[in-house]
Amino acid sequence: MESGTLTAAELAQRVAAQVRRVVVGLEREVELSLAALLAGGHVLLEGPPGVAKTLLVRTLATALGGRFGRIQFTPDLMPADVTGTSIYHPGEGVFRFQSGPVFANVLLCDEINRAPAKTQSALLEAMQEGSITSDGYRHTLPQPFTVFATQNPIEHEGTYPLPEAQLDRFLFKIVIGYPAPAVEAQLLADAHARDELSTPSELGVTAVASPEDVQRLRAAVRTVTVREDLPAYVVRLLAATRKEGALVLGGSPRAGVMLLRAAKAHAAIGGRDFVLPDDIKAMFVPALRHRVMLDPAEEIEGTTTDDALQRILDAVEVPR
């Protein structure tokens, strides 16, 4: 896939090379993040503290160029702290809008489930509409606009679970666990001599693309061809989630739309202008894991949402 002189595959290679300067491992997570970015989607990162969720997003933002914004979500965070507010200028006798951190190309929302529903709804408008409303006026966000939100799956005290409507606005839920021993050893070898306050830029990460490049590539991704029999394959996968005994809530039609969009981005990153069944399979679990609901009884037995989705992926016939 080409856009100007930069292809999606080249963008993925360049960004991955920059991320490797700072982050050890997480190759799959980087690929999914780039697929979401090129598909015009948002990403929910879930994992315990200390597994480089925030560092990954900061490094991606640096490599992609453009404006980076960060919000630390807390129970007392107000919508205006996210979107901005109108400030009175007495010398001019007028109110002028002062934009908040949401006006960014890449927005990191740390511990998003710590903010109350009112603040989460303000972010939902930004994610859904690409704009925010303040004092009755609509303000358009810069494009591209991508939200990377993090949450800790362990802590529940003082948190506000994300409503289904907001979860549905995330293209992917990426789960980051603890690294393998060899990867963790390499991480320690690389990190112990660094200044812990160093930014990705100070560690050698440079911008290898611009917001304009991302916008052109997003337009190119929309032109990726989807074979006639692949929508029916997606429908069979969705139908299977609705019949799966371990799930009490299956995937919606919107989930199918998002899955195909992600598959097109995955194909473009792979250097193709057409989608293969393997693209759909590669995107299925991260695109569906937050859109289905596991039966509590199955959870007690040790079954995970990913287990149920993988069974479906293995059972549904793949087009030739």
* 274 alpha carbon, distance to own chain's centre: 23
Q: Examine the pLDDT at 20 and tell me if it is beyond 70.
A: yes
Q: Using pLDDT thresholds of 50, 70 and 90, give the confidence band for residue 174.
A: very high
Pair 119, 79: CB distance under 8 Å = yes
pLDDT tens for 216-259 read 999 999 999 999 999 999 999 999 999 999 999 999 999 999 99
- In a 10 Å sphere around its CB, with 0-12 CB exposed, 13-18 middle and 19+ buried, how is residue 20 labelled? middle
- Phi then psi for residue 190, to 5 deg, are -80, -35
| Domains of the chain, earliest start first | 1-194+209-222 (3.40.50.300), 224-320 (1.10.8.80)
CB neighbour list of residue 302: distance below 8 Å, 6 or more residues apart: none
- In the numeric block, the tokens 């997570």 are attached to 29
Tokens found for residue 200: 């990705």
Q: Can you give the C-alpha Rg of the chain in angstroms?
A: 20
What does the pLDDT average to over 29-35?
97
Predicted pLDDT of residue 2: 46
Mean of all residue pLDDT scores within the chain: 92
The least confident of 4-13, 62-71, 222-231 is 4-13
d(CA 115, CA 74): 5
DSSP secondary structure letter of residue 161: P
Neighbouring-strand partners of residue 69: 107
Residue 4 has pLDDT above 60, yes or no: no
**196 pLDDT band (50/70/90 cuts)?**
confident
pLDDT digits (tens, 9 = 90+) for 94-143: 888 889 999 999 999 999 988 888 888 888 889 999 999 888 889 999 99
